[in-house]
Structure 1
């Protein structure tokens, strides 16, 4: 988004979100720095000076998980998703509909839909198939379990 403005202004993001994927998204979008709201005044000053001098700055509190994410080569659901989001993702990937998930987790349908929307936003995935693939990759479900939840193919017999 920042890159679309045409100019390269130094942008320092001050946020409470410490998830590694949020840091990566912000930096890819053009942010020059990423500081957590709970940062001390000295850290904020260092970040501002670094960004104004043309360097990038990332709060030390998010560096370790960020390195694990980038060095590991794939996103880890434990860093990216809340426990409730992981549970909703697991149930979706097993073939449960939103209504079934709401019943099982004692949530409203609107709440489950909100979790589903946040899952898609957080992971950058637009469809259910992508969510299922992500769940498989993360080990939230295994292939035999995913296949057992699949609907049986329609019968090929025709009514006489």
Structure 2
């Protein structure tokens, strides 16, 4: 059973989400919050599998700040951002804040359910237009850096593993635990990656991993 926490300042939206999610055999809404600080407290208390976080909450802590703080306090949290903004600024901020996925509020119900199941399984999820924007970012960085087509062959197997985990949203500590190496070694691999690929930002690395097929990504999600 996927335990879900809803964080949205509109009670009508929470009610609709709760009805949809609780109607699924594998999902259960275990709590609700109307702003970011309350959402953090509820998440620490309830330990949900997925936190569905509204991005824009004018009263209290906003969704982006809450996501960043919650990932710091509860690194294993799987956070799915809901937003009305189909904008690369918000997309990149969501990735940098540690969100496991980003979905437009206008998305069909089936897509929301797929996104919840994907992030609950520890995978990442991006809506199709977000994927397109990441790919545009990747193409732009390739042109700016004079092409990175041959750079992939320069990466060691370990660096490719680290790149894949970075793109899936894992922190340095989590990557170190998964690969049974030190955090310092992870940082060294990341330094090598950015130097060899000539990429400095996480969105660029995500787009590159996506382009190279390291995430097994289709139009509907990033598989683990």
Normalised by the size of structure 2, how large is the TM-score? 0.31
Report which of the two has the higher share of strand.
2
Bigger Rg, structure 1 or 2 = 1
TM-score by length of 1: 0.43
